[in-house]
Amino acid sequence: MNANKTAAMVLDEIRAEALRSWEQMRQKTLIAVGAATCGRAVGALEVAGVFREEIERLKVDAAVIEVGCMGHCYAEPMAFIFKPGFPGICYGYLNEGLAARLVRDFLVDGDPCVEFALAADGVNDFIPTFQDFPRGLVEQKMVMEHCGLIDPENIEHYLAVGGYGALAAALAMDPGEVAKLVKASGLRGRGGAGFPTGSKWDLCRAAGEKTRYVICNADEGDPGAFMDRTILESNPHLVVEGLAIAAYAVGAGKGYFYIRAEYPLAVERIRKALDQAGKYGILGKSVLGTGFGLEIEVFQGSGAFVCGEETALIASMEGKPGLPRHRPPFPSEAGLFGKPTVINNVKTLSYVPYILRNGADRFKETGTPGSPGTAIFALAGKLVNTGLTEVPMGTTLRQIIYDVGSGIAGNSNFKAVQIGGPSGGCLPGETLDTPIDFDSLTRAGAMMGSGGIVVLDENDCMVEMARFFLDFTQKESCGKCTFCRLGTRHMLGILERITRGEGRPEDMDLLLELAGDIRAGSLCSLGKTAPNPVLSTLKYFRDEYEAHIFEKRCPALMCKDLIAYYILPHKCERSCDACVGSCPVEAIYSNEDRIKVINQEKCVKCNSCLVACPPQYRAVVKVSPPDLAAGKEKENDERKSQDNH
């Protein structure tokens, strides 16, 4: 590389070529199929295959590319079709037949099949854009801007939309100035704790050692969270750029992506991205010709939730079991192999290029004073529109659930929202109008966590929810310290007996006492936050605990030991046998009136009959406590014998 050239000049040269091929691509028809893991799970690759076959068969001049996910996961498989003369049109709920039809009707015959269109990418006369959706008013994209619109496996796409410009800008600055800018932006770590990112970098910069490391923490272990996966799969270069800027700011010559084992596609795409960046001179011995050297490697996790904790993550990279250790020293002073190490979450790093491009003040315009910027949430559970969303910090849960998620699915009512995974909590309806940021959520008894939101309806039992999370943390506890290893085990035992209907009156107090002590006594944050699901459900849904303990009843009809399945005789259709056939254990029989009856002794409560019973009858119901079913059957028998007399 020519020593007189600046990083920006080197980048411009690389980018010129990328822009040319990008323009070329946009001149003909382009089909971009959403092929992140979520899309693939419901057949995106098959749909992409049909697009390719049909284009080939009908000799259409068009290209098919696989892109990431733009967050509208509910409508997967999805594809954007960019045909010259039309706005880009997004089609959802695709299947192989529909794909074939789109090629024929739209690409060949010019009919855009508006009836299947979800939205368009530009203002036009016939199809609404995503911005016209209620969620369009709430959402604001700093990180996800290009997710689902560019090919994540092609660095030219990223370059064409301005990629690596922030890195070039950073390289023109003094490393200390870069750290200062990030500090001034007020960016807080998106991994959960919300520690100021710039301060973390400063701590590392101040450390005496010359060998330093930067690590991107992509060990997204919270069940219900998939923001990091989506970003890595949809725009890997963005995260690579963020990590490279972090490395330059703290003077690290070596960086790592720590990606969890369960995300094979993310690993593949980051590896490809690193490889391409190396080939383009964006990584390697002389980053963009500046002489700053940076190597980045992928380290795959091996399946341990606790490794999201930074000292445990480091232990596993050092070839040890992932046991957290006492802090201080913090990793910024003594981290990987004892060297100063900055560990930032995927989302945190994804904001860094934005801040470099637009400045700290622009970043701070969005969000709340204490938590600037946007927040990225994964929406799952009983919502109409599940998926990924990016909204300004300070948006209320109500906006997220009702505007973005379009409310509760089916004929059900909202009960609670679980936010922050195993370290978070369940918040009830009355908290929905709280503007959410790091601090407000902690006050409400939950935690930002990494941003997983699971919406629960009236069919979800809050005691069971708490039991589920304690079962999770108990299984994922590393076992090093007493309070977490044994404390979570005891809490789980108590919750199990409550959900079995064997709860004792003193159990609620015992849970509260243990929760307080585990929070104060545990070594790491996994243990310290493990009681949150119990504390929040006890705080907001105590009545459900009481129903389980004192009435042996599960109000949500969820706890298996506290419910029974029962067929309402007056609703059961004599000529229908759907439930009988669906039962895997032959527990359902026809009585002499050809009304179906469940043998409670044999029933394994698998829910099959309830699903099988045709919606026009809805004869199968759940009752709690379970002896209600037996009681009803007895009643029926008695009534019948009276009738006979």
User: Which residues, 584 to 613, sit near another protein by CB under 8 A?
Assistant: 584, 604, 606-608, 611
Residue 634, SS3 per DSSP: helix
Q: Is 38 in the site for another protein (CB under 8 A)?
A: yes
> Where does residue 140 rank: exposed (0-12), middle (13-18), buried (19+ CB within 10 A)?
middle
Q: Is 454 in the site for another protein (CB under 8 A)?
A: yes
Q: Is 418 in the site for another protein (CB under 8 A)?
A: yes
Q: Is 501 in the site for another protein (CB under 8 A)?
A: no
- Is residue 422 within 8 A of residue 346, CB to CB? The reply is no
**What tokens were used for 142?**
């700093």
Q: Which residue has the tokens 């919750």?
A: 495
Q: Cβ closer to another protein: 276 or 522?
A: 522
Q: Is 521 in the site for another protein (CB under 8 A)?
A: yes
**Piece in contact with another protein (CB under 8 A), picked from 90-98, 115-123, 240-248, 296-304:** 296-304
Residues in the chain: 645
Q: Cα(149)–Cα(36) distance, rounded to whole angstroms?
A: 12
Residue 570 CA, chain-centre distance (Å), reads 44
Q: How far is the CB of 195 from another protein (least distance, A)?
A: 17
Q: Cβ closer to another protein: 103 or 218?
A: 218
Q: Cβ closer to another protein: 12 or 53?
A: 53
Burial 174-213 (b: 16+ CB within 10 A, else e): ebeebbbbbbebbbbbbbbbbbebbebbbbbbebeeeebb
Q: Is 390 in the site for another protein (CB under 8 A)?
A: no
Q: Which of 149, 159, 168, 225 binds another protein (CB under 8 A)?
A: 225
End-to-end CA distance of the chain: 103
Residues 120-149 that bind another protein (CB under 8 A): none
Contacts 24+ apart (CB under 8 A), 91-98: 91/116, 91/117, 91/118, 92/116, 92/118, 94/47, 95/43, 95/47, 96/43, 96/46, 96/47, 96/49, 96/50
Closest CA to 217 of 344, 323, 77: 344
Q: Cβ closer to another protein: 482 or 599?
A: 482
Q: Cβ closer to another protein: 185 or 350?
A: 350
**Piece in contact with another protein (CB under 8 A), picked from 123-131, 221-229, 359-367, 614-622:** 221-229
Q: Cα(98)–Cα(308) distance, rounded to whole angstroms?
A: 41
Residues 18-37 that bind another protein (CB under 8 A): 37
Q: Is 42 in the site for another protein (CB under 8 A)?
A: yes
**Piece in contact with another protein (CB under 8 A), picked from 389-397, 470-478, 537-545, 631-639:** 470-478
Q: Which residue has the tokens 């998620």?
A: 405
Q: Cβ closer to another protein: 394 or 452?
A: 452
Residues 252-281 that bind another protein (CB under 8 A): 261-264
Residues 313-332 that bind another protein (CB under 8 A): 316-322, 325-326
Q: Is 68 in the site for another protein (CB under 8 A)?
A: no
Q: Is 452 in the site for another protein (CB under 8 A)?
A: yes
Q: Is 532 in the site for another protein (CB under 8 A)?
A: no
Q: Cβ closer to another protein: 386 or 532?
A: 386
Q: Is 404 in the site for another protein (CB under 8 A)?
A: no
Q: Is 93 in the site for another protein (CB under 8 A)?
A: no
Residues 329-368 that bind another protein (CB under 8 A): 337
Handedness of CA 319, 325, 330, 334 (dihedral sign): negative
> Where does residue 631 rank: exposed (0-12), middle (13-18), buried (19+ CB within 10 A)?
middle
Q: How far is the CB of 411 from another protein (least distance, A)?
A: 16
Q: Which of 16, 97, 302, 599 binds another protein (CB under 8 A)?
A: 302
Burial 18-57 (b: 16+ CB within 10 A, else e): beeebeebeeebbbbbbbbbbbbebbbeebbebbbebbee
Q: Is 299 in the site for another protein (CB under 8 A)?
A: yes
